[in-house]
Amino acid sequence: MRDMPIEEAVLPPLPRAYHGINWEGLKTLYIREIQRFWKVGMQTLAAPVVTALLYMLVFVVAVGGGRDVHGVHYGTFVAPGLIMMQILSNAFANSSSSLLQAKFNGLMGDFVTPPLSALEQMIGFGAGAATRGIVVGLVSLVAILPFAALPVAHVWAILYFGVGAALIMGFIGIMAGLWAEKFDHMAAVTNFVIMPMTFLSGTFYLVERLPEPFRTASHYNPFFYLIDGFRYGFIGQAESNLAIGAIMTGVLVLGLGWTCLWMFRVGYKIKT
């Protein structure tokens, strides 16, 4: 039998992994995540700014008074921590609420049907959450500036720890959104994990002034290193070892990103 010419042979389609990244699908998912919080700007942008200003009023005016911390005014010390709080909470809220609402609306299949790989889903949800955290952080920064003069000592630290924190909480939000089966589960994560770690991270005080064992325990809190590194970018002073904080941030971004990738790849609570 005559051999079929190579150009006439019908070759099987290449596996999905060899097609590269579906940039159009990834862009669509990312834009969807941006539009989710942009359409309700009063809730997702204005509300965090009001919260940050109220914290400034309570802790700076009523508590801090005119005292200095690390050689800077108390308001200047607190402001970076408040901005980081908004980055952390809003990045987590975006990805977690997106996935949980999709579960309740019966739309989880929409993330499986399109030709999106696990990597593209992880990047789309993670980048969307990080974008919301960074945008809210920038808006909070602009709102706080009239009440606290913020110098800029190290731009690299502001960018590295700010973006790193947004990605970390975006990935944690993905994990929580896939794991949670009802809003009570999400509330438990927020109230018993996120909020305690945030308030015990040195946002409003120096960790070194805490009594034991809270002082030692704070050095195992990732939020402490994120906030301290972010504050270092503004005032040039840090409580922690910046090298440890920088390494920890990179490891968490990679580790949590890989975990989210695995959860999407196996269809964790998506295909059931």
108-117 average pLDDT score: 73
Q: Is the pTM of this model over 0.75?
A: yes
Predicted pLDDT of residue 15: 41
Backbone phi, psi, residue 33, to 5°: -65, -35
Predicted pLDDT of residue 12: 43
Predicted pLDDT of residue 86: 93
Predicted pLDDT of residue 1: 42
Better-scored residue on pLDDT, 258 or 49: 258
Asked whether the predicted pLDDT for residue 125 surpasses 90, the reply is: yes
The winner for highest mean pLDDT among 42-56, 67-81, 253-267 is: 253-267
